[in-house]
């Protein structure tokens, strides 16, 4: 009986220790926060991490000079479940079209298409955030109408003279951060000199000196 009580006592202590809020000095993250689960992107499927054998699979002939097989690992990624539809592409074009119209009007100095405020005064106009609250009115505003008409198809390419937008003119700027170049040891920040060193390649393949973190922001123009 005493042995049974001792076993129950040990189990009770183990349960209390397991439910303890102490981290025992380990890096566990903030306690009490819920678990995070990555949401499934719409219309995409998850391909888990895996590996495959690259190279010849059959037995080579004797004394052959063929390269040997090797195992290649592939990180997990998301991919579209099906090919994009015409209607999905139309939705994308509409989004790109709206931002291009507004950026064009802002570059031509038409009022109301750039956000105002002290936070944006030091930024060049070509990168200042757009004001999407300003409505584009081609019926009452001649400046808006003039800009919109520059994106129509040429007259000789129109079907029965109907005005349609020329998607070849919808060229937008795409930005991303090149984390691989940012993590390169040559681009470390020198805390003694308080400056960066090294170089990086921009999206067009040009070599640029790293003066700050903006050198790792890649910009490329893509046609919708």
Model pLDDT for residues 77-133, shown as the tens digit of each residue:
999 888 888 898 888 888 888 899 999 999 898 989 998 888 888 888 778 899 999
Residue 32, Cβ density class (10 Å: 0-12 exposed, 13-18 middle, ≥19 buried) = exposed
Which residues sit opposite 209 in a β-bridge?
199
Q: Band of the pLDDT at 63, cuts 50, 70, 90?
A: low
Is residue 140 domain-shared with residue 194, that is, in the same domain? no
Taking only the tens place, the pLDDT of each residue in 132-177 is 999 999 899 999 999 999 999 999 999 888 888 898 899 888 888 9
165 and 176 part of one domain:
no
126 in the same domain as 188 = no
Rounded Cα–Cα distance for residues 174 and 220 (Å)? 5
Nearest CA-CA partner of 59 in 72, 68, 51, 50: 68
Q: Please state, in angstroms and rounded to a whole number, the distance separating the CA atoms of residues 44 and 80.
A: 4
136: in domain: yes
- Give the CA count within 13 Å in the CB-facing half-sphere of 1: 0
Averaged pLDDT of the chain: 83
Pick from 42, 69, 44: nearest CA to 56: 69
Domain that holds residue 129: 84-169
Tally of domains within the chain:
2
H helix runs in the chain, sequence order: 2-18, 86-107, 142-149, 179-182
pTM: 0.59
Cα 131 to Cα 134: distance, rounded to the nearest angstrom: 6
Indicate if 153 and 175 belong to the same structural domain: no
In a domain, 42, yes or no: no
Both 189 and 223 in a single domain?
Answer: yes
Asked whether residue 187 falls in the same domain as residue 120, the answer is: no
Task: Find the range with the poorest average confidence among 19-28, 77-86, 174-183.
Answer: 19-28
Question: Kind of pairing, strands 171-177 and 77-80?
Answer: unpaired
């Amino acid at each position: 009986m005493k042995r049974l009580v001792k076993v129950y006592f040990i189990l009770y202590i183990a349960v209390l220790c397991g439910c303890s809020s102490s981290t025992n000095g380990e890096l566990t993250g903030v306690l009490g926060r819920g678990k995070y689960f990555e949401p499934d992107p719409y219309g995409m499927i998850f391909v888990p991490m895996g590996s495959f054998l690259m190279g010849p699979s059959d037995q080579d002939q004797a004394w052959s000079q063929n390269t040997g097989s090797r195992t290649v690992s592939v990180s997990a990624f998301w991919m579209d479940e099906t090919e994009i539809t015409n209607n999905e592409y139309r939705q994308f074009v509409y989004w790109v079209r709206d931002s291009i119209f507004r950026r064009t009007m802002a570059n031509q100095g038409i009022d109301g298409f750039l956000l105002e405020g002290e936070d944006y005064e030091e930024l060049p106009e070509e990168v200042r955030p757009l004001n999407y609250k300003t409505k584009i009115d081609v019926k009452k505003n001649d400046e808006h109408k003039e800009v919109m008409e520059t994106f129509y198809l040429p007259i000789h390419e129109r079907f029965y003279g109907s005005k349609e937008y020329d998607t070849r003119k919808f060229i937008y700027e795409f930005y991303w951060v090149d984390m691989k170049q940012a993590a390169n040891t040559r681009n470390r920040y020198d805390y003694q000199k308080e400056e960066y060193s090294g170089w990086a390649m921009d999206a067009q393949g040009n070599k640029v000196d790293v003066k700050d973190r903006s050198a790792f922001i890649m910009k490329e123009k893509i046609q919708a």
